Amino acid sequence: MRICIISDLHANLEALVALPHGYDELWVLGDLVNYGPDPAAVIDFVRAHAALVVRGNHDHSVGYDTDCGCSPRFRGMAEATRELTMATLSARDKQYLRDLPTSATRQIGAYRFFLCHATPEDLLYEYRPPDSPQWQQEEAARTGANILLTGHTHLQFMRTFATHVVVNPGSLGQSKAGDPRARYALWQDGQFELCALPYPVETTVAKIQALPLNDTVKRDLIQVLRSGTVP
């Protein structure tokens, strides 16, 4: 069994379609929408191809028209693109986002996976850094899983403890890892591989430039895409 794990797609269709297709299942750790220019197409792709999907804070924000709980530096971008995303998506698409579970489990042989967007204690919103000691504490493994899959921070990492492994595949659609490559993870036969994939960033940039957003929001969104850093 070869599983491709992605998170934080953020309506970036170019990054999504650039994924290699040599996997048996696709798992998505939330944030299909917001920030990027193609929310409907990304939802269509995920709906058609993903075996497991959990809801992220931006999916929740768009689905329920509520605050995303973002950091102050990203709040303006999030609010502007939420309004545009909600105007773009169909009622069916917004219902799909509302219906996504906030966590999921899967058993494959001796491996029990727990999937969430943020953390087991705060499924949608907690920003927990890769080096946090909380990943090692019993609360991180209280799900009964020996593999915890999480996203939200856009920071790719893997940490191995005596009782469990924690993996964040990073962001597929909006890197914050210092370069624009799309991040994801592969799991096969008990082994993880953390991957980074070039994709046609300038195609996504051109789409953002064509959106009816103010110039400041466009500038910041494009800077994140091109640099992989917080503006």
- Give the tens place of pLDDT for each residue, 18-53: 999 899 999 999 999 999 999 999 999 999 999 999
Closest by CA to 174, choosing from 72, 74, 55, is: 74
User: Which residues on neighbouring strands pair with residue 27, listed in sequence order?
Assistant: 5, 52
Rounded to two decimals, what is the model's pTM? Answer: 0.97
CATH class for the region spanning 2-102+172-227: alpha beta
CA distance 95 to 114: 24
pLDDT tens, 143-182? 889 999 999 999 999 999 999 999 999 999 999 999 999 9
CA angle 49, 50, 55 (to 5 degrees): 135
Q: How is the beta sheet containing 111-116 ordered, strand by strand?
A: 103-108, 111-116, 147-149, 165-168, 157-160
Length of the chain: 231
Amino acid (one-letter) located at 78: A
